[in-house]
Amino acid sequence: MAKISVQQRKYFVERIEESINEKINILKQQRAADVQKLSEAEYKRYLKTLKLDTTLARYKKVKEEFDLLGQRMVDVYDEIVKSIGKNKYDSDVPSIYSGSSFQDVDRGFRYLCNKTAQQQETETQSGKVIRSLEEKRRAACDVLHGINELEDLTIEVNNILKGADVPLLGS
């Protein structure tokens, strides 16, 4: 038997492995469809073997319910964010979207509650002062825009707005 160097041995080993691996890869690709069919046919039995069949079925049911609840919360959240004049992508608006933890969802709704309360709070002394200042600002702007010069129009618009629980023109 002829002696070969270490370098020659490495070269022949690489060459043999390369050519055989190439043939094996071609055969694996050719049987990929057969493997997929077999896998689909045996999947239920495989899960039973692993004792995961009932666990996976329960997980599916719970996950679907979880996703439905999550989507309901996101829909409500998005509507409230819009109603307070924010964009859900603003950096100060917490995210409750995909992958959020309970704490993220809780933080998001606490944020919305706080913003809503800021808009509605008029019982405290500071709330009364803020409301008074807002009314003065509105009245001053009305004067600057000449609303008082259009008295007939102002009266007509205010009659339409009565009962809508919105500030009337000139008030």
pLDDT tens-place string over residues 112-128: 887 877 776 667 777 77
Task: Tokens 């309901």: give the residue.
Answer: 72
Amino acid at 43: Y
Q: Output the pLDDT for position 147.
A: 66
Amino acid residing at 10? K
pLDDT recorded at residue 98: 67
- Domain segments of the chain: what residues? 53-120, 125-154
End-to-end Cα distance, the chain: 111
- Please state the pTM of the whole predicted model: 0.53
Low-confidence ranges of the chain (pLDDT < 70): 1, 98, 120-122, 144-149, 169-171
Give dist(CA 112, CA 73) in Å, integer: 12
